[in-house]
Structure 1
Amino acid sequence: MIQYLNFFKKPQGAAYLFILPALVILLVFTVIPLLATIVISVLDMDIFLKGASYSGMENFQKLLSDERYWNAMKNTFYFTFVQMPLQIMLALVVAVFVSTNTLFRKILRTAFFLPFVCSLTAIAIVWSFLLDPQTGLYTHYLHLIGLPRLEFLRDPELAMPTVILMTVWRNFGYSMIILMAGIQSIPKSYYEAAQIDGASKLKQFKNITIPMLIPALSFCVITTTISALQVFDQIFVTTQGGPLFRTETVVNYIYNTGFKLAPYDLGYASAISVSLMVVIMLITLSMNRYFLNNETSDVL
């Protein structure tokens, strides 16, 4: 016992002691639910946990012929690979603009970052009111200039692009702050040397800013992609996966299958969750390797 107490008095032991609460939270809210999901995915059970029986790989085999699952996966990829580039490009352009420390640009940083601090659910509710075809402020302005009252969240063709633009507007401030910090950390001497050599602002941005920002860019791209692949809140509040399942993503389908629609098939919902976890893992590892290779080549 005394030996263990002496260990915690050392710097290394004290470090373990300080991270222990975070490890406990991670174990309780991440590791245990993850393992439970994997176990439930091979069971035939409902949300009430009654009559659970082992079903083997039947739930995963069911995925292969489930058209609604593949539609949800298609919508998820559509959302992710449109929203993520838009958010990163907008954040990068704005980060370059607000990176200088003037009072006006400091105010802009706060204004752009503020939506990210607000509740996504509250933002989705507000946007639902603004885009309502009958009482919405934006549709009213369209009517005033002679355009039709577009049903942004009820039209199968407009619903997903609308949700994407709303998400970009809300989230780009997060990426902007990270990229701005990366830009401010680039030594000014690099730009001064480029100016002496006659490099234009565009060449400086291409040959200095972008290569030096790869660590920050990789972090933003990977975290934004992971978040987008798990999109749920804004779609749940604004469209409920409609119209005609055009905005139903994988997480929405998991919720509908396991918790909303009878027979509340928790085993199948867990199998969908495991499949999404594998997809996210593969995409994340691929992106991480790509960015690590780029960082290494820049160093060499």
Structure 2
Amino acid sequence: MRNPLTVLRRRLSAYRRIRTDGGTASAGSILDRDSVRSAPFWLPPFLLVGLFIYGAIIWNIFLSLTDFEGLGSPDYTALDLENYVIAFFGGTPSWSSLSIEPVWNAAWNTVVLMVSFSVVCLALGLVMAILVDQGIRFENTFRTIYLLPMSLSFVVTAKFWLYMYNVDTGLVNLLFEAVGLGPVEIVQNPDLKLAAVAFALIWQFSGYAMIVYLAGLRAIPTSHFEAARVDGASTLRMYWRIIIPQLRTATVSALVVLTVFSLKAFDFLFSMYGGYQPGPSADILATRMVREAYSNGNWAFGSAIAVILFIMALAIVAPYIYTQYQRGEL
């Protein structure tokens, strides 16, 4: 009778056959695979991300289908789309006696802020990148100065611009008085609230767009510039017809990051206006979501707004990720 231990050793040896022609193993042990051997490094963060990010997203989706109001445990036995119907059309939900307004105003403000902030940031970033790319002196100093605001948090930026917009001592109003426009109440003016937020965010993130465009400009061969000059193209025509079209990848990359930041502007609005209610003219989906959950106790309805916000962000990021995957850059 053969020794079972000997048989097991022979089978393991056969399973671990290694080619002797200098190639890789044709059949290796599962324990010898790189993915398994490196598991102690990638498995813990993978599980943590899966639990606290993707798990939380999935749980939030289920929560938005309930009538949870923050007390007790959610009832997952009767799931429906009532919160989404209320979000789009308004009305009085079955789990409350108070009527809830639709989120169209907050959604519109979110889109306006996202578009105006992103477009102006890209335009300013492109202009600054072109100017810095001309080989000016102290280039590194200018790049640092332009990029420095991005290192600040939304809270710091909000407090800084709250001081800048001050009616009595703010620099913005001092400039208005210097040109004869007089002091202007910016922070509390319904017509200027959203513009004030967009301007401050543009100041903070235009330097990021400049860095992305500058990297794109430096990646363009100098022969393209020289060929355009030899053909007699003016500087404006050269950039418009030849250089800027080659910055499409940089534009898309910066646009995705900027739009996602604009969707996350809750910190800025909360810090500038001191709470969940910046007013109808500056209310965005993020502030409406937190106000419904924490102030009004409509946790399920706030979760539904969070899902809508997540879908908006996914609609921006997913095409970019898919395009990068198709190009083999992921």
Q: Same fold (TM over 0.5)?
A: yes
In the alignment, is residue 217 of structure 1 matched against residue 217 of structure 2? no
1:52 is matched with 74
Larger % of helix: which? Answer: 1
1:158 is matched with 192
Structure with more contact order per residue of length (Cα contacts < 8 Å, sep ≥ 6): 1
Give me the whole-angstrom Cα distance separating, in 1, the residues matched to 2:169 and 2:136.
40
1:46–1:266: 8 Å Cα contact kept in structure 2? yes
Match of 2:281 among 239, 246, 252: 246
1:59–1:268: 8 Å Cα contact kept in structure 2? yes
Q: Which moves more between the two structures, 59-68 or 266-275? A: 59-68
In the alignment, is residue 124 of structure 1 matched against residue 150 of structure 2? no
Match of 2:132 among 94, 98, 105: 98
Shift of 1:81: 1.2
Give me the whole-angstrom Cα distance separating, in 1, the residues matched to 2:269 and 2:282.
7
| Structure 2 unaligned spans of 5+ | 1-11, 13-27, 91-100
Name the amino acid aligned to 1:129: Y
Deviations 1:48-89 (A, max 9, x none): 4x1422341111111122345111001111111111100111
SS in structure 1 of the partner of residue 168 of structure 2: coil
Name the amino acid aligned to 1:34: I
Give me the whole-angstrom Cα distance separating, in 1, the residues matched to 2:32 and 2:46.
21
Give me the whole-angstrom Cα distance separating, in 1, the residues matched to 2:41 and 2:218.
31
Q: Which has the larger radius of gyration?
A: 2
Give me the whole-angstrom Cα distance separating, in 1, the residues matched to 2:197 and 2:247.
29
Name the amino acid aligned to 2:156: A
Give me the whole-angstrom Cα distance separating, in 2, the residues matched to 1:19 and 1:191.
45
Deviations 1:129-164 (A, max 9, x none): 121223434324434554322111110111111110
Change (3 A) 1:17 1:252: same
1:154–1:242: 8 Å Cα contact kept in structure 2? no
2:29 is matched with 3
SS in structure 1 of the partner of residue 29 of structure 2: helix
Q: Which moves more between the two structures, 139-148 or 190-199? A: 139-148
Change (3 A) 1:207 1:241: farther
Number of equivalenced pairs: 286
Deviations 1:211-231 (A, max 9, x none): 221111111112212222332
SS in structure 1 of the partner of residue 283 of structure 2: coil
SS in structure 2 of the partner of residue 148 of structure 1: coil
1:298 is matched with none
1:280 is matched with 313
| Structure 1 unaligned spans of 5+ | 296-300
Give me the whole-angstrom Cα distance separating, in 1, the residues matched to 2:135 and 2:47.
40
Deviations 1:79-115 (A, max 9, x none): 1111110011111111111124544222111000000
Shift of 1:282: 3.1
Identity score, percent: 26
